[in-house]
Amino acid sequence: MDFFAHFKIWVLTLCLVFQSGYGFYLPGSYPHNYGIGDTLSVKVNSITSIETEIPFSYYSLPFCKPLEGVKDSAENLGEVLMGDRIENSPYKFKMHTNETDIFLCRTDPLSGDHFKLLKKRIDEMYQVNLILDNLPAIRYAKKESYFLRWTGYPLGIKVKDAYYVFNHLKFTVLVHKYEEANVARVMGTGDGSELIPTVGSGGSELPGYMVVGFEVVPCSVMHDAQSVKNLKPYEKYPSPIKCDPTTVAMLVKENEPIVFTYEVTFEESDIKWPSRWDAYLKMEGSKVHWFSILNSLMVITFLAGIVLVIFLRTVRRDLTRYEELDKEAQAQMNEELSGWKLVVGDVFRAPTNSGLLCVMVGDGVQILGMAVVTVMFAALGFMSPASRGTLIIGMLIFYMILGIAAGYVAVRLWRTIGCGDKKGWVSVSWKVACCFPGIAFFILTTLNFLLWGSHSTGAIPFSLFVVLIFMWFCISVPLTLVGGYFGAKAPHIEYPVRTNQIPREIPAQKYPSWLLVFGAGTLPFGTLFIELFFIMSSIWMGRVYYVFGFLLIVFILLVVVCAEVSLVLTYMHLCVEDWKWWWKSFFASGSVAIYIFLYSVNYLIFELKSLSGPVSEALYLGYSLLMALAIMFAMGSVGFLSSFWFVHYLFSSVKLD
């Protein structure tokens, strides 16, 4: 029931977006309408660092704990896989009530272990991530004439071998006034309406407020630990606190306690609730970046158009010239001229390791379909950053469902290569269901052991491992077998020409053909590499990525260029009488993954200079390798299927017998 309530709100919001003509994402959660004096509770997420990329629990450090005890918030599968651990915190506000000099707690004297750990986390540039009404805390800093934005705030700072902790937080909560007190009741139905606080009773005319911004300024203030010894949480600090973010004073010392305080100010804002995420989504750079990306797209489109035009003209002229000749002239031409006509008896000869090729193409179709559907849903706004984890969940669901397509394509290709033989289709389906998921499971398990050893919240719990294995073997594998069954029932593709019993000898080549194949990946990489920078920055630099509409365009262009490159390479190989095109067509477009992985290494060396420690580097390289393998399977299947269609069309367009 809760799912359908969410779905109806999503559809309603999508319609409103299209009607209004502005807004490009769905808010992803219900609007909460608070009355004056209502309690607002701040939540904490895992502390993170772009230097280690290893998240840790907020309460792994000596912070103040809530009086009611630490409680985990309900998290979905995607949040856990991303390393999020959302818990309650002692920070509490009253709607539209400004408060200053609020005493939070006085910690126990820092033990030797806590003292060393705190210094280590400050050295590693860890950030504290707070959440209010599903909005992450945002921090502004002025540099020269423009403002920089970050989510979260640094744990502390090191100045001349001395460590200082930010122990006073100055919060600013932006609220939007809504005059209709009963708006929440109108927007929620069924069980969902109970989740939305309503303001006042029946016909109350008191205004309601919605949280549309959450800003934080961290300060390091020297507090007198003795003066607050008898203070209780949320009482007034004995003396006024001046928050100056440009100075630091709270020195971290062993066997000394830390006093935490905060203040909060509420400001009314013109920002509407559906637009409250705009401040986070504007973190993606300047207009210069957009101009650079668009310029790159224009160049790549122009080059791809030239390649396509030349290619079509060459093939069309070749076919037209051949068909204009009579049978006797054709026979003479076959004897005198070299080219693709001479490999007619070998062009459809089964390749080596044909079973592996079928499995890789099937897995590639599954990954490609998952990527296309996920990006399309994200571009439509159904995977808003406000709905944490939905992107990962969507990818898993779409991947499992598209196991049907993977099994179908792999088995039908297997039967086509075997000239209609159904024998072995179950084995092929099983291999498809276990090949790429098995590789991914091995890599992720290895990395998970590293995270377990580091006591990171990024480590997948054992119970979740069981759930993932259950999803793999009880959902994904059966769906792949169903697809394989339909592939076995479908008619295989008939070859337009007969294959000779004795294979034709391939003439010596002037250059290594595989060198050209792997070099072909440079053109698809040129389509992707600028957008790849933003994606890598989003994953590893903690920035919000939400230009999925543009990513969809880039992805479609990448698929088109991969298909074109593979077609050209296949035709070139056939022209020099090299009939072993099957694997080469796969790797001609799949080789883009090599350049993506090399780019990842380059990004690690030059952009992530601060990334330290063998565990962090192993995590980065492991995830980059998995991403490159997925792209190789997906783009390789694009190249192979387009080349197979082309070869079949080419040899069925003219009679060569």
* pLDDT tens-digit map of 395-425: 999 999 999 999 999 999 999 988 777 788 9
Give which of 312, 280, 340 is closest to 151, Cα–Cα. Answer: 280
∠ Cα 391 396 400 (to 5°): 145
* pLDDT tens-digit map of 92-145: 999 999 999 999 999 999 999 999 999 999 999 999 999 999 899 999 877 666
Helices (H), ranges, 454-521? 462-471, 477-489, 513-519
Average pLDDT over residues 610-617: 80
Q: How confident is the model at residue 292 (pLDDT cuts 50, 70, 90)?
A: low
Q: Which residues contact 219 (CB under 8 A, 6 or more apart)?
A: 166, 167, 168, 169, 170, 243, 244, 245
* pLDDT tens-digit map of 303-350: 677 667 766 766 666 667 666 666 566 555 555 445 667 778 888 888
Structure-token pair, residue 420: 């209609």
How far is 533 from 435, CA to CA, in rounded Å?
Answer: 29
Alpha carbon 607 to its chain centroid, in Å, reads: 19
Dump the DSSP string for 547-600. Answer: -HHHHHHHHHHHHHHHHHHHHHHHHHHHHTT----HHHHHHHHHTHHHHHHHHH
Dump the DSSP string for 359-391. Answer: HHHHHHHHHHHHHHHHHHHHHTTTT-TTSTTHH
Residue of higher predicted confidence among 423 and 354: 354
Q: Which residues contact 541 (CB under 8 A, 6 or more apart)?
A: 50, 607
Q: Which residues contact 228 (CB under 8 A, 6 or more apart)?
A: 103, 106, 237, 238, 259
How far is 536 from 620, CA to CA, in rounded Å?
Answer: 11
Q: What is residue 656's predicted lDDT score, i.e. its pLDDT?
A: 53
* Whether 252 contacts 91, CB under 8 Å: no
Structure-token pair, residue 143: 């540099």
How far is 49 from 541, CA to CA, in rounded Å?
Answer: 9
Give which of 427, 426, 392, 432 is closest to 409, Cα–Cα. Answer: 432
Structure-token pair, residue 406: 């993977």
Structure-token pair, residue 380: 């439509």
Residue of higher predicted confidence among 31 and 444: 444
Q: What is residue 544's predicted lDDT score, i.e. its pLDDT?
A: 67
- Cβ atoms within 10 A of the Cβ of 656, count? 15
Q: What is residue 102's predicted lDDT score, i.e. its pLDDT?
A: 94
Q: Give the predicted TM-score (pTM) of the model.
A: 0.83
The structure tokens 């549309």 sit at 212
Q: What is residue 631's predicted lDDT score, i.e. its pLDDT?
A: 96
* Whether 422 contacts 491, CB under 8 Å: no
How far is 644 from 657, CA to CA, in rounded Å?
Answer: 21
